Amino acid sequence: MINIRPLKRAQSLKDMAYSQVKALLRSGKMDAETIISANQLADSLGVSRTPVREALLQLSSEGFLTALGSKGFQVRRFTRKEIEDTLEAREAIERWVVEHLAQRNDLDTAPLAEAMVRMERAAGSNDPNAFIEADAAFHLYLVRTLGNGLLASLMENIRDRIALLGRQALSVQGRMNEVLEEHRRIVEALRQRNGDAAALGMHAHLEATRRNLLSNQGGVD
């Protein structure tokens, strides 16, 4: 079983268990071969089985885990169609976002530059987890800055899925550096207030991500 620190009872145990398992999923410490037992996980977290099972059921309802009956839960294996659908939804949001952000003369691109510095460091140390976290900060900043709470909420859900899939795309040699260059083009277009170039840059970036994900995906048809 994975070595995890017991939870402190500062908030809802179910919510804390949910956050802990979600973090493990994002980090890649739980993969599609891992069978997750509510009993064992509850023992590791130092809490009762009920809030842990509720957290696992919520993650299952959200599409991140598959319930296996008495055996427990397993990390969801996304089908090719589900991956395509996720990426289509992501592009529909992000192309629209950067096109509209480019029209603003008060857009602060410093957080985007900071995220790319973190990505450069992660690429240099070949740390895909840190790279994915910084990449998420880059993309979520764009959507949150637009100020549309519903789009931001949708994007956060999409990013959770992308985090489960992202390591496959980054397994291609040199892909981290390619992502950085694609990001630079997007930021430059935003600085120039060129909405068309920003949208095209985002399309090129997400299309490259799509190709890498689908060529390395572990889902089923």
CB atoms near residue 9 (< 10 Å): 10
For residue 21, the model assigns a pLDDT of: 86
Q: Are residues 90 and 107 in the same domain?
A: yes
Mean pLDDT of 35-46: 87
Distance between CA 165 and CA 219 in Å, rounded?
Answer: 10
In which domain, by residue range, is 134 found? 80-216
- Please state, in angstroms and as integers, the Cα–Cα distance from residue 139 to each residue in 39, 130, 154, following that order: 36, 14, 12
pTM beyond 0.85? no
Q: Are residues 126 and 206 in the same domain?
A: yes
The lowest-confidence range among 29-38, 51-60, 68-77, 172-181 is 29-38
When divided into structural domains, the chain yields a total of 2
pLDDT band at 125 (very low <50, low <70, confident <90, very high): very high
Mean pLDDT of 107-115: 97
65-67 and 35-36 beta bridge pairing: unpaired
Q: Of 38 and 171, which is predicted with more confidence?
A: 38
CATH number at residue 129: 1.20.120.530
Q: Does position 104 have pLDDT exceeding 60, yes or no?
A: yes
Domain ends where: 75, 104, 125? 75
For residue 220, the model assigns a pLDDT of: 46
Q: Does residue 105 fall inside a structural domain? A: yes
Q: Are residues 19 and 127 in the same domain?
A: no
Q: Are residues 46 and 136 in the same domain?
A: no
For residue 71, the model assigns a pLDDT of: 86
Q: Are residues 196 and 108 in the same domain?
A: yes
pLDDT band at 195 (very low <50, low <70, confident <90, very high): very high
Q: Are residues 148 and 61 in the same domain?
A: no
Q: Are residues 19 and 69 in the same domain?
A: yes
> Coil, helix or strand for 174?
coil
Q: What is the DSSP string of 70-103?
A: GG-EEE----HHHHHHHHHHHHHHHHHHHHHHTT
Q: Are residues 191 and 85 in the same domain?
A: yes
Q: Of 74 and 4, which is predicted with more confidence?
A: 74
Decide: 207 and 88 in contact? Cβ < 8 Å. Answer: no
The lowest-confidence range among 8-12, 54-58, 156-160, 199-203 is 8-12
Q: Are residues 176 and 123 in the same domain?
A: yes
How much of the chain exceeds pLDDT 70, in percent?
88
Q: Does residue 201 fall inside a structural domain? A: yes
CATH number at residue 31: 1.10.10.10
